[in-house]
């Protein structure tokens, strides 16, 4: 399954207040808020017992809606943790409870449909996910926007990039006036930029959506590392558009936005690698060599297994620089790295043998 960004699952922002015992309500709300805080931090394992405790208290107080919210978030935690046996059991129980509930609340029905669609998507069954999510397209804007988002992911998995685009655009249109969740808009816009650039062949649109994503990331006060990844993507699109000077500027901004704690990471190695490529294309061979060497240094420091790609880039650089001995040495090292990591018959060797020969 292709995954570009971690997208937060749809959850109701506020509990639906009802008149129950103040002591019971306070205890349930305490557990719920503790769990929600851990949930936002991605610590799903720790949320399960807290959501369950809150759910039981709300059930004892005959608060069906709040009890459902706790169950819903607990099932989402199981899905994110890939504890699928627990998911199937809880979804089955939730369906039975809904069928017995005479009030048939629309929110519970919508979120139950989404849970089943999300579960099918996460278990690599996009066709089944579509069958559930499509039934939410006429729901309220909140549920419909999330359904459209995950329908976009499903159609992407099935290779239907036009439908993927249309669903994501629809998801964005439904939250157009939402000023409270800029990070969600940024994620969706960033995803669209990747779709347009690499799968629909429209680089100008891709760059346009990346810039829009940047605006939303700034509103969300996103971490510097997020901007580093954003500028790296902008650089790559600019390089594909043969705007090498602009690409170099974006890559340098990507490096400058990377926090010091991330300076010896694969992210930095890849940005250096890209800086090497763009300087090569600009005919700045010495600068290209410097950046590619820095990329290799970082990869070796973090024991990254894929040294071969940077060795290939060095080999191509030395060929254009009229340094055949260095080119041969780089290609030889790339072949050795591929054999060591992937075996003698790996497909990565085909083009290399042609160059090295």
- Over residues 53-97, the pLDDT tens digits come to 998 988 888 888 888 888 888 888 888 888 888 888 888 888 777
How sure is the predictor about 235, in pLDDT bands with cuts at 50, 70 and 90? Answer: very high
Cα 194 from Cα 201, distance rounded (Å): 10
How sure is the predictor about 305, in pLDDT bands with cuts at 50, 70 and 90? Answer: confident
pLDDT of residue 24: 59
Q: Which residue has the higher pLDDT, 345 or 331?
A: 331
34 found inside a domain: yes
Under 8 Å between Cβ of 194 and 168: no
Domain count, the chain: 3
Q: Are residues 285 and 328 in the same domain?
A: no
> Would you list the DSSP string of 190-220?
HHHHHIIIIIS--HHHHHHHHHHHHHHHHHT
> Would you list the DSSP string of 258-289?
S-GGGTTSHHHHHHHHHHHHHHHHTT-HHHHH
Q: Which domain holds residue 256?
A: 223-296
Cα 298 from Cα 286, distance rounded (Å): 19
Cα 199 from Cα 187, distance rounded (Å): 18
Q: Which residue has the higher pLDDT, 323 or 221?
A: 323
Q: Choose one of 37, 70, 104: the last residue of a domain.
A: 104
Q: Are residues 309 and 284 in the same domain?
A: no
Under 8 Å between Cβ of 331 and 352: yes
Under 8 Å between Cβ of 58 and 66: yes
- CA dihedral (311, 317, 320, 321) in degrees, to 10, reads -110
Which residues does 309 contact at the CB level (< 8 Å), separation at least 6?
Answer: 273, 334
Considering the chain, what percentage of its residues have pLDDT values greater than 70?
89
Stretch among 106-110, 124-128, 221-225 having the lowest mean pLDDT: 106-110
Q: Are residues 31 and 82 in the same domain?
A: yes
Cα 167 from Cα 161, distance rounded (Å): 10
177 found inside a domain: no
How sure is the predictor about 128, in pLDDT bands with cuts at 50, 70 and 90? Answer: very high
Q: Are residues 25 and 97 in the same domain?
A: yes
Stretch among 97-106, 178-187, 207-216 having the lowest mean pLDDT: 97-106
Cα 299 from Cα 295, distance rounded (Å): 6
Cα 297 from Cα 338, distance rounded (Å): 18
How sure is the predictor about 103, in pLDDT bands with cuts at 50, 70 and 90? Answer: low
pLDDT of residue 16: 40
Stretch among 59-68, 113-122, 150-159 having the lowest mean pLDDT: 59-68
Q: pLDDT averaged over the chain?
A: 85
Q: Which residue has the higher pLDDT, 241 or 283?
A: 283
Q: Which residue has the higher pLDDT, 332 or 263?
A: 332
Cα 242 from Cα 204, distance rounded (Å): 12
pLDDT of residue 12: 36
pLDDT of residue 208: 93
Residues in the chain: 357
How sure is the predictor about 42, in pLDDT bands with cuts at 50, 70 and 90? Answer: confident
Under 8 Å between Cβ of 210 and 191: no
Q: Are residues 274 and 328 in the same domain?
A: no
CATH of the domain at 264: 1.25.40.10
Cα 313 from Cα 288, distance rounded (Å): 9
Q: Are residues 26 and 95 in the same domain?
A: yes
pLDDT of residue 127: 95
285 found inside a domain: yes
179 found inside a domain: no
5-31 per-position pLDDT tens digit: 333 333 333 344 444 445 556 788 888
> Would you list the DSSP string of 123-148?
TT-HHHHHHHHGGGTTS-HHHHHHHH
264 found inside a domain: yes
The winner for highest mean pLDDT among 60-64, 114-118, 177-181, 286-290 is 286-290
Cα 50 from Cα 33, distance rounded (Å): 9
Lookup: tokens for 286 = 């010495």
206 found inside a domain: no
Stretch among 2-6, 94-98, 203-207 having the lowest mean pLDDT: 2-6
Q: Are residues 285 and 261 in the same domain?
A: yes
Under 8 Å between Cβ of 175 and 146: no
Helix or strand holding residue 337 (H, E): helix 324-342
77 found inside a domain: yes
CB 147: neighbour CB atoms within 10 A? 30
Q: Are residues 33 and 60 in the same domain?
A: yes
> Would you list the DSSP string of 317-331?
HHHHTT-HHHHHHHH
66 found inside a domain: yes
- CA dihedral (313, 315, 320, 322) in degrees, to 10, reads 150
Q: Are residues 287 and 239 in the same domain?
A: yes
Cα 131 from Cα 17, distance rounded (Å): 33
Tell me how far CA of residue 224 lies from CA of 210, 215, 228, 256, in angstroms: 16, 14, 6, 9
Say if residue 357's pLDDT is above 70. Answer: no
Under 8 Å between Cβ of 273 and 231: no
Q: Choose one of 278, 296, 314: the last residue of a domain.
A: 296
Q: What is the pTM of this model?
A: 0.69
């Amino acid at each position: 399954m292709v995954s570009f960004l971690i997208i937060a699952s749809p959850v109701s922002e506020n509990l639906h207040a009802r008149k129950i015992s103040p002591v019971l309500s306070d205890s349930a709300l305490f557990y719920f808020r503790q769990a929600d805080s851990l949930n936002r931090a991605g610590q799903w394992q720790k949320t399960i017992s807290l959501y369950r405790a809150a759910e039981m208290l709300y059930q004892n107080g005959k608060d069906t809606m709040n009890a459902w919210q706790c169950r819903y978030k607990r099932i989402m935690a199981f899905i994110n943790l890939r504890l699928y046996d627990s998911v199937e059991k809880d979804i089955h129980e939730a369906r039975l409870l809904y069928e017995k509930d005479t009030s048939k609340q629309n929110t519970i029905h919508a979120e139950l449909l989404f849970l089943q669609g999300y579960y099918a998507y996460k278990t690599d069954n996009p066709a089944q996910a579509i069958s559930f999510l499509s039934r939410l397209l006429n729901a309220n804007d909140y549920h419909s926007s999330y359904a459209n988002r995950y329908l976009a992911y499903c159609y992407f998995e099935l290779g239907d990039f036009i439908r993927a685009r249309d669903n994501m655009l629809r998801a964005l249109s439904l939250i157009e006036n939402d000023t409270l969740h800029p990070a969600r808009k940024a994620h969706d816009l960033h995803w669209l930029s990747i779709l347009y650039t690499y799968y629909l062949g429209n680089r100008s649109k891709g760059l346009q959506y990346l810039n829009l994503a940047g605006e939303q990331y700034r509103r969300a006060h996103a971490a510097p590392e997020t901007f580093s990844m954003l500028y790296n993507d902008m650089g790559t699109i600019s390089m594909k558009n043969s705007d090498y000077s602009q690409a170099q500027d974006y890559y340098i901004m990507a490096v400058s936005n990377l926090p010091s704690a991330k300076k010896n990471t694969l992210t930095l190695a890849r940005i250096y690698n890209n800086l090497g490529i763009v300087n090569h294309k600009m005919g700045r061979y010495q600068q290209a060599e410097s950046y590619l060497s820095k990329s290799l240094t970082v990869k070796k420091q973090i024991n990254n297994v894929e040294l071969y790609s940077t060795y290939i880039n060095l080999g191509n650089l030395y060929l254009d620089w009229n340094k055949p001995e260095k080119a041969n040495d780089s290609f030889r090292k790339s072949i050795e790295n591929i054999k060591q990591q992937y075996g003698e018959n790996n497909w990565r060797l085909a083009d290399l043998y042609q160059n090295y020969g």
